[in-house]
Amino acid sequence: MKHYLVTGGAGFIGANFVKYLLKNYQDIQLIVLDDLTYAGNLGTIKEELKNPGVAFVKGDIGDPQVVETIFEKHNIDFVLNFAAESHVDRSIENPQLFLQTNILGTQNLLEIAKKHWTKGKDENGYPVYREGVKYLQVSTDEVYGSLGDTGYFTEKTPLDPRSPYSASKTGADLIVTAYSETYKLPVNITRCSNNYGPYHFPEKLIPLIIKNILEGKKLPVYGDGSNVRDWLYVEDHCKAIALVLHKGRPGEIYNIGGHNEKKNIEIVKLTLSTIRRLMEENPVYRKALKISGDSLDWISEDLITYVKDRLGHDQRYAIDPAKITTELGWYPETKFEDGIVKTIRWYLENQDWVAEVTSGDYQHYYQQMYGNR
């Protein structure tokens, strides 16, 4: 039986990965570590926690005692580090928090994994590790900086972070690489493009737009909305991470992209039109959401409002996933036009989850950013 430590497993990508593992792998034990900050919610994995093969620990990845205790109690084979402060706007507001969690927290995980996996030293003094162990760092394409109108990020693209968030993730990646080079720790790093799908906290673009449309609120778009992102359906991402974990060459970095480049304003307009169409085709959604009357004219582009651009806003991200495709046979299976419909349907049908996760800090933060627009 393999034991997986999944940090940040109550957050968006981490929770989806927990669900993916349990669906696709047998005879495994999962230990989910999450500090349950504003973006982590146990309701996201409540069904999974009923599984006797899943244990939950509340704690910070930067707390040595918490992580040490997990390794002492469980025979951890794999560490998958999803835990991170991840919102660029929040990093501009509080850079220190991002450095503490994303860099020092990562180093703490690496150090304790190295300690517990080491079974001796070779003739050159390098640690010798227990067979079949690996640490996987889940990173982001934002470590590469910004692209112009053409070109793609590859694993050889120089690191050029532009925000406190991306700088903290870059620092974490370099610490992981250092543990690989200095101590020969078996590691992988994955760098993904923008994820979307179920269980995404409504501060990121797509879930925020969906939430605001349903509430009749304005839809904030930075600058002129021309910034381009490459969108990756979260389940496709989870499949890629599992492949890298089990079959990726130790020490290697793998870029994971969706081949779905869209301008932010395109995303907003497509989300608007899709929500309206789904509601017109399915009156059950209007009834469930307690939307009275037959007219849906209020779901229109009149809701769009352009707000002051983010400081240091990267213009374009786009990933070339040729390496993971060639080596591991992975490719993005979900076309954006299909994935956005699945995502919107999920949010329409899971408004209780949205209400639960947005009942606290989120409302205060939204008011800080956008006022009463």
Q: Of the residues 48, 77, 141, 173, which is catalytic? A: 141
Is 141 catalytic? The answer is yes
Q: Of the residues 144, 165, 199, 285, which is catalytic? A: 165
Beta strands at 78-81 and 2-7: parallel, antiparallel or unpaired? parallel
Give yes or no for a contact between 101 and 94, defined as CB atoms under 8 angstroms apart: no
Residue in 10, 233, 76, 39 with CA at minimum distance from that of residue 18: 10
d(CA 87, CA 165): 7
Is 230 catalytic? The answer is no
Give the pair of three-digit tokens for residue 14.
């981490």
Q: How many CB atoms lie within 10 A of CB 66?
A: 17
Is 362 catalytic? The answer is no
Buried b (16+ CB within 10 A) or exposed e, 311-347: eeebebbbbbbebbbeebebebebebeebbeebbbbb
Q: Of the residues 142, 173, 203, 236, which is catalytic? A: 142
Give the pair of three-digit tokens for residue 164.
């406190």
Q: How many CB atoms lie within 10 A of CB 71?
A: 19
Give yes or no for a contact between 206 and 346, defined as CB atoms under 8 angstroms apart: no
Q: How far are the Cα atoms of 29, 98, 252 from residue 241, in angstroms, in the given order?
A: 17, 23, 13
The catalytic site residues sit at 141-142, 165
